[in-house]
Amino acid sequence: MKLTILGSSSALPTSERYPSAHVLSVHERLYLIDCGEGTQMQLRRNKIRFGKINHIFISHIHGDHVFGLYGLLSTMNLMGRSTTLNIYAPSKYREILFSHLLDFDIILGFNIDFVALDSGDPVKILDDKHLTVTSFPLRHRIPSYGFLFREKAADRNIVKEAIEKFSIPVARIPAIKKGEDFILENGEVIRNDEITVAGPVPSSYAYCSDTMYFKRLSSFVRNVDLLYHEATFEAGLGELARITGHSTSTDAARTAFEAGAGTLIIGHFSSRHKDVQPLVREARSIFPRTIAAVDGTTYDVGNIDVP
């Protein structure tokens, strides 16, 4: 599981930071999370193939999280896309999205499967071969949702030498990789852990933007390996954060600490913060394993080096 930050700015983009957009890669499948202005340019810069994106998750209907979607859909159409695109977004966005396409005479050559988000509790919205995705409510000025991506446990790996040693038929290998023991012709049972080794440890990633701090949030992302949490403002601007429905650096750190997260990446920075390292230091006073999101950087979700 690898995460690429395409944009980590808040409402105003800067010369170094684009508005919100992330791409999560899981077993070569790509999941786009939010789609701020300039997303398709960032996809090109980072050599990410548009055609491999089949799922787009929109946290809420503020421009810095969605303005890039219209251009991206148009480009996908011009590139000849024909496969269905799945869009997960607040229920109100369905009418807005299709109205825009109609207003600008964009006739798509592919279907959009729109999944409406409207629950006040966590809901599993995607379950495929490799992962599950759960949406959960955030606390912002308008309905807003976070997303939790959990990789499913991989099958065990069979020890090659064991295949020859015990004359294991090819037809039995799939079941053994699922955990079954192997029984010899004489009835002897060869325990599964003698002929297999565990597969890679599953990874998990959670995306929380935009939101104020609230106690329940940490329960939605319990024990996540990597937590991306907005830190729009420094700790001293807590009142402004509350007025605007955002979090400070220390709010993000509190959530990470209470959730037992592995690593915290803070982002969605206000353009007033030219240097975000003070925000990182504030967060680290509560949650030491904190780093700042950097546009164009790819992170190995289960293996992040914190300096």
What DSSP assignment string belongs to the chain?
A: -EEEEEE-B-SS--SS-PBSEEEEEETTEEEEE---TTHHHHHHHTT--GGGEEEEE---S-HHHHHHHHHHHHHHHHTT--S-EEEEEETTHHHHHHHHHHHTT---SS-EEEEEE--SS-EEEEE-SSEEEEEEE--SSS--EEEEEEEPPPPPEEPHHHHHHTT--GGGHHHHHTT--EE-TTS-EE-HHHHEE--PPP-EEEEE-S----TTHHHHTTT-SEEEEE--B-GGGHHHHHHHT--BHHHHHHHHHHHT-SEEEEE-B-TT-S--HHHHHHHHTT-SSEEE--TT-EEETT-----
Name the residue ranges covered by the structural domains of the chain.
2-154+200-300, 157-197
Calculate the average pLDDT of the chain. 95
pLDDT confidence of residue 153: 86
Q: Is the domain 2-154+200-300 a CATH 3.40.50.720 member?
A: no
pTM of this prediction? 0.90
Query: Could you read off the pLDDT of 195-253 as tens digits, one per residue?
Result: 898 888 899 999 999 999 999 999 999 999 999 999 999 999 999 999 999 999 999 99
pLDDT at 165 over 90: no
Q: Which tens digit of pLDDT belongs to each residue from 115-161?
A: 999 999 999 999 998 999 999 999 999 999 999 999 998 888 899 89
83: pLDDT strictly greater than 90 = yes
Catalytic residue among 64, 210, 225, 251: 64
Q: What is the pLDDT of residue 7?
A: 97
Q: How confident is the model at residue 290 (pLDDT cuts 50, 70, 90)?
A: very high
Q: Residue 31: pLDDT above 90?
A: yes
pLDDT at residue 185 in the model:
85
Amino acid 288: pLDDT = 98
103 phi and psi, to 5 degrees? -60, -35
| pLDDT value of position 101 | 94
pLDDT over 90 at 305, yes or no: no
In the residue annotation, 64 being an active-site residue is answered as yes
